[in-house]
Amino acid sequence: MNDESKFMCLCCGREGLPIQRKKGKLKKPFHLKKLFCIHCGIDVNHVECRNNDNVTEFLHQWANGELNEQIQTSLEYLYGTAQWVAMRDDIIKRQEEILKSLTLKSIDEIE
């Protein structure tokens, strides 16, 4: 039997392609795996999430900037290029959008 893990891109925060893992070969949640991001169009580390709670936790950490050091490490090979400058600006904008979305969702849950 296989379990499907979601892989969240460290660069854009979006869900990448899922990967099937055999039960005996499961990795810990938040395991990093370098994959091609279908949204960014580059090879970048993705965070493995095994359930929706993991995805929510990842999005909170990502939007709050807690993963910025890992993002920078994952994208070192792009430093100094025009692609890096554009991606950096997109990352900041997307983090702000996700943070606002998560905050609104939390407020709605309270009401």
Give residue-wise pLDDT tens across range 57-68.
Answer: 999 998 888 988
Q: Domain span at residue 34?
A: 2-110
- For residues 91 and 72, what is the distance between their CA atoms, to the nearest angstrom? 11
Give residue-wise pLDDT tens across range 29-60.
Answer: 788 988 999 988 888 899 999 888 999 999 99
pLDDT for residue 107 is more than 50 = no
Residue 23, exposed/middle/buried by CB under 10 A (0-12, 13-18, 19+)? exposed
> Which residue do the tokens 């990448």 mark?
16
Question: Could you tell me the pTM of the whole model?
Answer: 0.72
> Which residue do the tokens 């359930």 mark?
51
**For residue 36, which phi and psi values (nearest 5 degrees)?**
-80, 125
Q: Which stretches of 43-105 are assigned E, i.e. beta strand?
A: 43-49
Asked whether 29 and 60 are in contact (CB, 8 A), the reply is no
How many folded domains does the chain comprise?
A: 1
